[in-house]
Amino acid sequence: MLGLNDLLISVDSFLGSAPWFPFYLLGIGLFFTVYLRFPQIRFFKHAWKVLFDPEEKSKAHGETSHFQAMSMALSGTIGTGNMGGVALAIYLGGPAAIFWMLMTAFMGMTTKFVEVSLSHKYRIDTDDGTVAGGPMYVMDRGLGWKPLAVVFAAAVVLSSFGSGSMPQVNNIAQVMNSTFGIEMWISGLVLSVLLAFVIIGGITRIASFAAKVVPTMAAIYIIGSFCVIITNYDQILPSFISIFADAFTGSAAIGGFIGGAFAQAFSIGVARGLFSNEAGQGSSAIAHASAITDESVSEGMVSLLEPFIDTIMICTLTGLVILSSGAWTKKYENTFQAADFAILEGVYSDTNDEQKQALFNHLNFVEGGAIPTVNGEIDVVAGNMVSTGVTIINARSVAEEVVFSKEDDNGDLKPYSGKLNILNGDVEDTDVVINGKSLVHSATLTSKAFTTSFLGENGKYIVAFSLTLFAFSTAVAWSYYGDRAITYIFGAKGVLPYRICYVIGFFVAAISDTAIIWTVALITVALMTIPNVFCMFMMRKEVKEMVEDYAKKIKK
């Protein structure tokens, strides 16, 4: 699994994690923000009016109202990115990563406005009477570039697994296991059955489900977040300051957090921002294409609210919860995963400034700063490593109170004694279970932060419940995106096989390695974003004409 993760990381280094990708993504948002004269500010108030327009339903054809279309799109974006993704960004880049998430969201408001307006304009009525739209139809009918449209549609199908289902159920299973002790495969099985039930009903059932669930789950999560923030009120201002003060320098080391470099904060902030609100990815445009309106730009207006709600509001709340609680700098007892674990040559401490700097250079890939990993054997007695001259790293922190265990002949997990072979810093015997104290990340970090309010340990139940709703609704929405992409490529006959594969993949991801799931998600996001951004730029003149015509209409 470690080798597979390394391979995927290598692939992602040329795509979403490549130095050019954040500029590519932010660049299109900045370009259209200036080109269209800041529509996210000019039309912000009007967008809310359109969202709740009671007359729109009677004016045109379609399958969903503005509110239902946005709820479905939000159900696809409000998910693990808002909870696990924000926590992962802070874990990797520190508070500075939140700043770049916010910048991505602000530019993303315009990006989403453009992609949705175009997708709604070029939507079609399918043979089965439903509406289908999205960037693939823009590329096909607008640009006349069908091969590019097929590539994008294929990327949507891949991304429906990599972004839509796999990280979602994996995070649910993790939280259910850590909160309630429920086996991960049980969570995966139950949720897979529920997922199959919802998506069989198609767009009507999905939209109805989203319109009911999204407002409820958002309200629960927001209330829970304020419980934590209010409890730690004295840390609100310092948390805000750390987000902005470190934006261009990187985040300083504090507690168990070794520190985050600027490049890491910038890259992960943009990547997590995109994963959270999906602006530029083209996914939400597929949902909005079903909206009942003949004014395509009006649906674009509604969509520009999504990054604001999803990232600027909810992700910021999550960030403040984690930062104000201090959970991101503390070490917690946890089971180490192979992708987070390594044994380094030499003795390093996070309380020694010189040694901490060496670890910073190693973890942030500073040139010439790599620390050699152990290749050879270590001695373990009663679960404790007795070999000297080495350091155990887990989750980008120096691990403490580490215990090596292994099942005995009766299947009971017991402390291990003997020699363990180490290859490139990792334990070769995959049956060995390693526990100890280290930093934590993803949804687990968010869950720990929620226990710091006056609700105490009960706070983790808010995370478990919210994450389940967030992530499950995201998986439901993405099943529709993949459904429409399959319809574009193969026609209606491909929908049922796709749904079966989607549900199976949903279950398998519940018991897979977390780090690998996130890496797959990063790759599939990039595979959608690259052609979609290119298409939007090529259609820029048409977009400007559409927006200017609409602006004249609403003035009258």
Rounded CA separation 87/89 (Å): 5
Q: What confidence score (pLDDT) does residue 422 get? A: 95
Is 416 part of a structural domain of the chain? yes
Q: What confidence score (pLDDT) does residue 515 get? A: 65
- Residues 318 and 179 grouped into a single domain: yes
Rounded CA separation 443/516 (Å): 15
Is 189 part of a structural domain of the chain? yes
CA distances, 109 to each of 114, 165, 187 (Å) = 9, 24, 35
* DSSP codes of every residue in 320-359: HHHHHHTGGG--EEEEPPGGGEEEEES---TTSHHHHHHH
Q: Kindly report the CA angle at 84 between 81 and 88, in degrees rounded to 5?
A: 100
* Amino acid in the structure at residue 267: S
Q: Where is pLDDT greater, at 262 or 127?
A: 262
Rounded CA separation 449/78 (Å): 19
Rounded CA separation 426/136 (Å): 43
**Which residue reads 């979602």 in tokens?**
168
* Segment holding 363, helix H or strand E: helix 353-363
Q: What confidence score (pLDDT) does residue 122 get? A: 94
User: How does pLDDT run across 136-171, given as a tens digit for each residue?
Assistant: 999 999 999 999 999 999 989 988 887 778 777 887
- Residues 408 and 389 grouped into a single domain: yes
Q: Which of 438, 472, 497 is the last residue of a domain?
A: 438
- Residues 242 and 354 grouped into a single domain: no
For residue 93, give the nearest of 348, 313, 320, 364 by alpha carbon.
364
User: How does pLDDT run across 465-507, given as a tens digit for each residue?
Assistant: 887 887 888 888 888 899 899 989 998 888 889 999 999 988 8
Rounded CA separation 286/485 (Å): 9
Give 362's contacts (C-beta < 8 A, 6+ positions apart): 344, 369, 370, 371
Do the strands 426-427 and 260-261 form a parallel or antiparallel pair, or are they unpaired?
A: unpaired
- Find the mean pLDDT for residues 123-130: 79
Q: Mark residue 352 as left, alpha or beta (left: phi above 0; alpha: psi -120 to 50; beta: remaining).
A: beta
User: How does pLDDT run across 316-348, given as a tens digit for each residue?
Assistant: 999 999 999 999 999 999 999 888 999 999 999
Provide the CB-side half-sphere exposure for 528 (13 A, CA). Answer: 35
Which of helix, strand or coil describes residue 406? Answer: strand
CB neighbours of residue 130 within 10 Å: 17
Is 59 part of a structural domain of the chain? no
Q: What confidence score (pLDDT) does residue 5 get? A: 74
Is 58 part of a structural domain of the chain? no
Model confidence band, residue 114 (pLDDT cutoffs 50, 70, 90): very high
Answer yes or no: are the C-beta atoms of 522 and 166 closer than 8 Å. no
User: How does pLDDT run across 197-218, given as a tens digit for each residue?
Assistant: 888 877 777 777 877 887 888 8
Q: Total domain count for the chain?
A: 2
- Residues 253 and 370 grouped into a single domain: no
Rounded CA separation 486/494 (Å): 6
- Residues 166 and 281 grouped into a single domain: yes
- Residues 96 and 83 grouped into a single domain: yes
Given a cut of 90, whether residue 265 has pLDDT beyond it is no
Q: Where is pLDDT greater, at 530 or 205?
A: 530
Q: What confidence score (pLDDT) does residue 279 get? A: 85
Model confidence band, residue 397 (pLDDT cutoffs 50, 70, 90): very high
Q: Which of 382, 406, 438 is the last residue of a domain?
A: 438
Which of helix, strand or coil describes residue 428? Answer: coil
The two three-digit tokens of residue 385, written as one number: 């490593």
The per-residue b/e assignment along 401-439, b for 16 or more CB within 10 angstroms, e otherwise, is ebbbbbeeeeeeeeebeeebebeebbbeeeeebbbbbbb
Model confidence band, residue 2 (pLDDT cutoffs 50, 70, 90): low
- Residues 306 and 190 grouped into a single domain: yes
- Find the mean pLDDT for residues 37-47: 94
Is 57 part of a structural domain of the chain? no
- Residues 320 and 337 grouped into a single domain: no
Q: What is the CATH number of the domain that holds 71?
A: 1.20.1740.10
Q: Kindly report the CA angle at 290 between 288 and 291, in degrees rounded to 5?
A: 70
Question: What angle separates helix 202-231 from helix 316-325, to the nearest 10 degrees?
Answer: 30
- Residues 141 and 206 grouped into a single domain: yes
Give 182's contacts (C-beta < 8 A, 6+ positions apart): 176
User: Highest-confidence range of 6-15, 47-56, 385-394, 448-457, by mean pLDDT?
Assistant: 385-394
User: How does pLDDT run across 299-308, given as a tens digit for each residue?
Assistant: 999 999 999 9
- Residues 384 and 533 grouped into a single domain: no
Q: What confidence score (pLDDT) does residue 212 get? A: 81
CA distances, 209 to each of 56, 73, 163, 276, 291 (Å) = 21, 12, 20, 20, 16
Which range marks the domain in which residue 466 is found?
2-49+64-330+449-555
Q: What confidence score (pLDDT) does residue 541 get? A: 96
Backbone angles phi, psi at 360, to 5 degrees: -60, -45
- Find the mean pLDDT for residues 349-359: 91
Q: What confidence score (pLDDT) does residue 60 get? A: 67
Q: What confidence score (pLDDT) does residue 59 get? A: 58
pTM of the entire predicted model: 0.83
- Residues 280 and 231 grouped into a single domain: yes
- Residues 218 and 105 grouped into a single domain: yes
The two three-digit tokens of residue 251, written as one number: 């985040």
The two three-digit tokens of residue 232, written as one number: 């730690």
Given a cut of 80, whether residue 129 has pLDDT beyond it is no
Is 421 part of a structural domain of the chain? yes
Percent of the chain with pLDDT over 90: 46
Given a cut of 60, whether residue 54 has pLDDT beyond it is no
Q: What confidence score (pLDDT) does residue 1 get? A: 60
Backbone angles phi, psi at 86, to 5 degrees: -65, -45
CA distances, 545 to each of 29, 37, 297 (Å) = 18, 13, 11
The two three-digit tokens of residue 367, written as one number: 């040139």
Q: Which of 438, 457, 488 is the last residue of a domain?
A: 438
